[in-house]
């Protein structure tokens, strides 16, 4: 029997509530599919600061490196807002991304038919949305040098950030995107600003070259301003989108609105030898500890883990199907319930999904 080690990093706030439910779903899959999972938990974020003084506890990175995949919750909260910048909870996550070279961030945004009215956008706009935004995560404007603020003799100041990409960085994210598009509806939109930025011109050149290795995937180039507009006008025209760090940061949040609630959105960060799977949402201090957080984003992250790290497509489908069925039966956590609807808590929602997964084997 194949056995996989999963590093479990719940972090803070509702991360500690939804991650154990995601683990339960993986255990159900393991039992049904005859796959062994070994779960090992470690500290990250505020919980790690409290216990060790560091947002990435000693040993956590080591555990991640020894694992096949990482199941991450969320980090941060008001308790640590006054901690020095380099010791803040999110530094734990940023350090993991950097150390593990997680350069590709995958964020699906799907509008489930039964939740169409949970989106602030019109039904006619969001209906049929099922897209994946792939954001380059370790390069571009957020990391480029030189950067800094210079005080000028006239009393003013001058600030600089640098958008920089090498052809190697573009090629590897492009290959990830073509591979993902191949597993979906075989359409890839590469988003850039090639009419203005030379970095985008190189981006376009490299993506076009990589496309020759994927003749079964249809590639289009879309300008970022156009893409931002199309996402809230006709999102169903997109399947897979690939873009650089800054554009991806903005567009993936815009796409999140299409799905209705942060509690529905999973993500994957791929790159080096081990990938990290986490809900898109944060620690939700306003509802933490109440047992009402939606566990679906964390649970759908396990489906991504099964699909992208373990290539267990059918089992990933089972988890996604279980979520759809439980929603079709009318069960809702508070964040996706309409006014007056009966709601279930975190545990009850996960119980329903686990039971459905078990029934599929």
Least separation in angstroms between residue 96's CB and ligand NAD is 11
253 is catalytic: yes
Least separation in angstroms between residue 350's CB and ligand NAD is 12
Least separation in angstroms between residue 352's CB and ligand NAD is 16
Listed residue (332, 321, 330) closest to 356, CA to CA? 321
Burial class (CB in 10 A: 0-12, 13-18, 19+), 253: middle
Listed residue (348, 294, 316) closest to 118, CA to CA? 294
142 is catalytic: yes
Could you say which of 103, 110, 192, 193 is catalytic?
A: 193
Could you say which of 225, 290, 314, 361 is catalytic?
A: 225
Listed residue (128, 210, 226, 200) closest to 174, CA to CA? 210
Size of the site for ligand NAD (CB under 6 A): 21
Least separation in angstroms between residue 222's CB and ligand NAD is 27
Question: Which of 230, 285, 347, 358 is the binder for ligand NAD (CB under 6 A)?
Answer: 285
Q: What are phi and psi of 272, to 5 degrees?
A: -65, -140
Listed residue (222, 230, 237) closest to 189, CA to CA? 222
275 Cβ contact list (under 8 Å, min separation 6)? 69, 70, 102, 268, 269, 305, 308, 309
42 interacts with ligand NAD by CB under 6 A = no
Question: Which of 70, 297, 299, 310 is the binder for ligand NAD (CB under 6 A)?
Answer: 297
Question: Which of 10, 77, 140, 235 is the binder for ligand NAD (CB under 6 A)?
Answer: 77
Listed residue (199, 180, 298, 181) closest to 247, CA to CA? 199
Check if the beta carbon of residue 108 is closer than 8 Å to that of residue 78: no
Q: Which range touches ligand NAD (CB under 6 A), out of 1-9, 49-57, 75-83, 314-322?
A: 75-83
Could you say which of 79, 142, 347, 351 is catalytic?
A: 142
Question: Which of 110, 271, 282, 315 is the binder for ligand NAD (CB under 6 A)?
Answer: 282
4 is catalytic: no
93 interacts with ligand NAD by CB under 6 A = yes
Check if the beta carbon of residue 316 is closer than 8 Å to that of residue 360: no
76 interacts with ligand NAD by CB under 6 A = yes
Question: Which of 262, 324, 345, 351 is the binder for ligand NAD (CB under 6 A)?
Answer: 262
Question: Which of 283, 301, 302, 309 is the binder for ligand NAD (CB under 6 A)?
Answer: 283
Least separation in angstroms between residue 263's CB and ligand NAD is 3
249 is catalytic: yes
117 is catalytic: no
Residue whose entry in the numeric block shows the structure tokens 């489908």: 317
335 interacts with ligand NAD by CB under 6 A = yes
Longest Cα–Cα distance in the chain: 72
Q: Which range touches ligand NAD (CB under 6 A), out of 226-234, 281-289, 300-308, 317-325?
A: 281-289
Question: Which of 6, 74, 111, 125 is the binder for ligand NAD (CB under 6 A)?
Answer: 74
Could you say which of 12, 192, 239, 249 is catalytic?
A: 249
Listed residue (344, 287, 308, 323) closest to 22, CA to CA? 323
Q: Which range touches ligand NAD (CB under 6 A), out of 47-55, 118-126, 198-206, 289-297?
A: 289-297
Q: Which range touches ligand NAD (CB under 6 A), out of 55-63, 74-82, 108-116, 322-330?
A: 74-82
- Hey, which residues does 150 pair with through a beta bridge? 158
Position of minimal CB gap to ligand NAD: 282
In the complex with ligand NAD, which residue's Cβ is closer, 300 or 306? 300
The residue ranges that bind ligand NAD (CB under 6 A) are 14, 18, 74-77, 90, 93, 262-263, 281-287, 293-294, 297, 335
> Which residues are marked as active site?
142, 193, 225, 249, 253
């Amino acid at each position: 029997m194949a056995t996989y080690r999963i590093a479990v990093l719940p972090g803070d706030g509702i991360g500690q509530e939804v991650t154990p439910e995601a683990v339960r779903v993986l255990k159900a899959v393991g039992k049904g599919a005859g796959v062994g999972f070994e779960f090992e938990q470690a500290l990250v974020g505020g919980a790690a600061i409290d216990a060790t003084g560091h947002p990435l506890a000693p040993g956590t990175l080591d555990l991640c490196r020894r694992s096949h995949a990482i199941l991450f919750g969320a980090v941060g909260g008001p308790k640590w807002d006054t901690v020095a910048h380099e010791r803040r909870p999110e530094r734990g996550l940023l350090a993991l991304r950097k150390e593990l070279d997680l350069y590709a961030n995958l964020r699906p945004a799907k509008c489930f038919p039964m939740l169409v009215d949970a989106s602030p956008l019109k039904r006619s706009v969001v209906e049929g949305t099922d897209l994946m935004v792939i954001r380059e995560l370790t390069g571009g404007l957020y990391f480029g040098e030189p950067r800094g603020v210079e005080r000028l003799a006239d009393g003013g100041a001058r600030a600089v950030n640098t958008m920089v990409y090498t052809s190697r960085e573009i090629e590897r994210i492009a290959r990830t995107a073509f591979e993902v598009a191949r597993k979906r509806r075989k359409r890839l939109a590469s988003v850039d600003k090639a009419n203005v930025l030379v970095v985008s011109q190189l981006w376009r050149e490299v993506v076009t070259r990589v496309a020759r290795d994927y003749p079964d995937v249809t590639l289009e180039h879309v300008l970022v301003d156009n893409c931002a507009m199309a996402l809230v006008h006709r999102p169903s025209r997109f399947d897979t989108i690939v873009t650089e760090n800054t554009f991806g940061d903005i567009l993936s949040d815009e796409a999140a609105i299409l799905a209705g609630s942060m509690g529905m959105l999973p993500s994957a960060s791929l790159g080096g030898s081990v990938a990290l799977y986490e809900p898109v949402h944060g620690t939700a201090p306003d509802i933490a500890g109440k047992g009402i957080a939606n566990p679906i984003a964390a649970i759908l992250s396990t489906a991504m883990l099964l699909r992208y790290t373990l290539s267990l497509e059918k089992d990933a489908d089972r988890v996604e199907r279980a979520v759809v069925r439980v929603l079709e039966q009318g069960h809702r956590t508070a964040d996706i319930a309409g006014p007056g609807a009966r709601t279930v808590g975190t545990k009850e929602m996960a119980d329903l999904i686990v039971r459905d997964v078990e029934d599929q084997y």
